[in-house]
Amino acid sequence: MTIYDIAKEAGVSASTVSRVINNRPGIKKSTREKIESILKVYNFSVSEAARGLVNQTNRMIGILVSDIRNQHHTEGAYMIERHFMKKGYCSLILNAGDSDESMAECVRILSSRRVDAVVLIGSVFQNRCVMNAITDYMPSTPIIFQNGIFNLPNVSSVVSAEDEGTAEAVKYLYSTGRKHIVYINGADTPSNRKKAAGYSNAAAELQLDEILYNTDGTAKNSADVTEMALAEHPEADAIIYATDLLAVGASRRILDDGKKIPEDIAIIGTDNSPFSTLANPRLSSIDTKLFELSEACSSILEKTLLNPGYTENAVIAPALVLRETTSQ
Amino acid sequence: MTIYDIAKEAGVSASTVSRVINNRPGIKKSTREKIESILKVYNFSVSEAARGLVNQTNRMIGILVSDIRNQHHTEGAYMIERHFMKKGYCSLILNAGDSDESMAECVRILSSRRVDAVVLIGSVFQNRCVMNAITDYMPSTPIIFQNGIFNLPNVSSVVSAEDEGTAEAVKYLYSTGRKHIVYINGADTPSNRKKAAGYSNAAAELQLDEILYNTDGTAKNSADVTEMALAEHPEADAIIYATDLLAVGASRRILDDGKKIPEDIAIIGTDNSPFSTLANPRLSSIDTKLFELSEACSSILEKTLLNPGYTENAVIAPALVLRETTSQ
DNA sequence: CTGAAAGCGCTTACAG
DNA sequence: CTGAAAGCGCTTACAG
């Protein structure tokens, strides 16, 4: 069923049908009504693909996340999708995977789909492979990078000052008397490196020993690494984790090993995710302002769509949220 | 940059360029190589929209979830997206919202986008509004319904036998000596009604009192309702929750009220989600086999795409996973 | 082995 | 107020 079928049925030309579909003025009322009723009878819906071809915009925005099952990436995708669906855009959401190559391939796919804009969610996209794919395949498509930066004329960015958030957590713990603060990092990503840098800076500033461990990002590994860290550093009296998941995974192990939280060991997670309030004990956490980050992306994207060439870089400050795993 | 620009640059016709792009045989080797090199120089990528217009397939599959931030819906979307991206399909993932009307509107949007298939994830789509939208706008587009059923010729379905899973949980608790088993339900959805029915049937079969409470689906409300239930039914010795989130939200309150889990109150959640292992105490849960459900959807979708008109209905049996909130 | 032409389903100047 | 025509970027019979 095309616009021509409707036209034939109504005894008019396709142009006229197109005009009523697009609410163009200057159509005789009776003609418009007749066409509208036929449109309704057939439940006609215009092909957006054909329309996109002539209008030079498919009204689609591409969203890249490494894994859509990760709640943390989903917030931004949700906000973008909801907001722009209202404006007639559809979202192509791709799971870009872990490898630089698969991420770059996704950029190529989105370029083939001729999306009007793309949003990259997560610092993992900050690598040369993706950057090259952008300059090769989307040198002028508006791109918004959530929690990452590309020094490219067509990409805006909104980042969380995670280093500062982590430093603030260190200083807070120090102010409550903790002097042996461990940092347990997540998977190796630009974001986590930045958090660790914040930890190191604060430790240096306060002249504390730097006790830093890495994990693969899973709850299980976090528990194991924590156990090892506490064995190697019996003096430890606080641990900051790069994510809430790591903190929750480990805290049960700490309790099982007979230590009290927060009396013996204070704990702070990162992200202020749903896990933090559901955890038992409830987890203090560095709020990296995911919601604000996502909102900022959405608002920059909107400006960019309205005003081609518009670009913006924003930084959002984290905040410490205290619950039961820290004592004042 | 179009295929014509490439053609001009190569001194051939667009047809020839199209043929090498599509790897058609019968092109002189030197011609092919020349075109390929030019394609590479310009990082040319074909417009899938234009291609879709002539091929009568946009190679897109539409995925409807009520809210992409809900981990529970995201598993299926992930699997479909990943699997079909490899085959050249892109996924249009829409947040369909809570109202029947917004869900139906999403069906209309997907029809406008001329997707090759759609997958509905979640029992909430099982309503007349959506059903009408399907018969009106996509009477013959292949549709896979995860955890719901439409008696329509173009829709396949894969459902979890949640009623049986819940009944099994009741019977298990009974077998361990619990005689006053409460059921705390989630938001009012077909899926949750089915779970509650399973509870009621089992309770009747075992001649137990039916103690059933409703919540709005949030952790906070679950804690409040649980407190009320235990006040009204001090004899209660076990609670089954319609989701893990409800169970985790409430268990902390139960502990705070001075009861022991599982000694005083045994607890079983539903979905065997990540929450269940992260919870403290670790939560016993009815595994509704989300992964298998999603896999089945993906495999049916694949068969449907290959074999138009193919349809299938599958039922997957849940299983009880015991952890620390139940005693044997 | 290659090209000219028609067509996929639309929209929009241009005429009338 | 309405229609014929051209064009958006492709692909594919049909000829040669």
186-245 of B, contacting A, C-beta below 8 A: 219, 245
Taking CB atoms and an 8 Å cut-off, how many pairs form between chains A and B?
120
At A275-326, the pLDDT tens digits run 999 999 999 999 999 999 999 999 999 999 999 899 999 999 999 999 999 9
The model's pLDDT over B261-320, given as tens digits with 9 standing for 90+, comes to: 999 999 999 999 999 999 999 999 999 999 999 999 999 999 999 998 999 999 999 999
With vertex at residue B92, the alpha carbon angle to CA B90 and CA B93, rounded to the nearest 5 degrees, is: 130
Over chain A, what is the mean pLDDT? 97
Tell me what pLDDT residue B229 has. 98
pLDDT > 90 fraction of chain B, expressed in percent and rounded: 98
**Binning pLDDT at 50, 70 and 90, where does residue A58 land?**
very high
Taking the C-alpha atoms of A27, A29, A34 and A40 in order, what is their torsion angle to the nearest 10 degrees?
90
Could you tell me the distance in Å between the CA of residue B52 and the C1' of nucleotide D11?
10
B328 pLDDT exceeds 80? no
- Tens digits of residue pLDDT in A109-147: 999 999 999 999 999 999 999 999 999 999 999 999 999
| pLDDT tens profile A300-309 | 999 999 998 9
Q: Give residue-wise pLDDT tens across range A176-204.
A: 999 999 999 999 999 999 999 999 999 99
The answer to whether B78 contacts A69, with C-beta atoms less than 8 Å apart, is yes
State which residue has its Cα closest to the C1' atom of C9. A50
CA distances from A203 to A169, A238, A269, A326, B160 (A): 11, 13, 17, 18, 52
CA distance B204 to chain A (A): 34
| Residue among B299, B84, B283 at smallest CA distance from A92 | B84
Mean pLDDT of B45-54: 96
Whether B248 sits inside 8 A of A278 (CB atoms) is yes
Q: Establish if B111 touches chain A: CB-CB under 8 angstroms.
A: yes
pLDDT score for B17 = 97
Distance from CA of residue A120 to its chain's centroid? 7
Q: What percent of chain A has pLDDT over 70?
A: 100
Give the pLDDT confidence of A252-278 residue by residue, as tens digits: 999 999 999 999 999 999 999 999 999
Average pLDDT over residues B204-217: 98
- Name the residue with tokens 């209008």: A55
Give the strand pairing for A181-185 and A319-321: unpaired
Share of chain B above pLDDT 70, in %: 100
Compute and round to an integer the Cα radius of gyration of chain A.
Answer: 26
pLDDT in tens, A204-235: 999 999 999 999 999 999 999 999 999 999 99
Please say if the pLDDT value at position A107 is more than 80: yes
Parallel, antiparallel or unpaired: strands B284-287 and B319-321: antiparallel
The reply to whether the CB atom of residue A55 sits less than 7 A from any atom in nucleic acid chain C is: yes
Mean pLDDT of B32-42: 96
Q: How far apart are CA B86 and CA B84, in angstroms?
A: 5
B-chain CB neighbours of A137 within 8 Å are 43, 45
Task: Report pTM.
Answer: 0.95
Compare CB distances from A112 to B48, B92, B111 and report the shortest one's residue: B48
SS3 readout for chain A = CCHHHHHHHHCCCHHHHHHHHCCCCCCCHHHHHHHHHHHHHCCCCCCHHHHHHHHCCCCEEEEEECCCCCHHHHHHHHHHHHHHHCCCCEEEEEECCCCHHHHHHHHHHHHHCCCCEEEEECHHHCCHHHHHHHHHHCCCCCEEEECCCCCCCCEEEEEECHHHHHHHHHHHHHHCCCCCEEEEECCCCHHHHHHHHHHHHHHHHCCCCCEEEECCCCHHHHHHHHHHHHHHCCCCCEEEECCHHHHHHHHHHHHHCCCCCCCCCEEEEECCCHHHHHCCCCCEEEECCHHHHHHHHHHHHHHHHHCCCCCCEEEECCEEECCCCCCC
Cβ separation A252–B109 shorter than 8 A = no
Does the CB of A142 have a partner CB in chain B at under 8 Å?
A: no
Task: With a cut of 80, say whether residue A328 has pLDDT above it.
Answer: no
* B163 contacts chain A (CB < 8 A): no
Return the percentage of chain A with pLDDT > 90, whole number. 98
If we measure between CA atoms, which residue out of A43, A7, A62 comes closest to residue B111?
Answer: A43
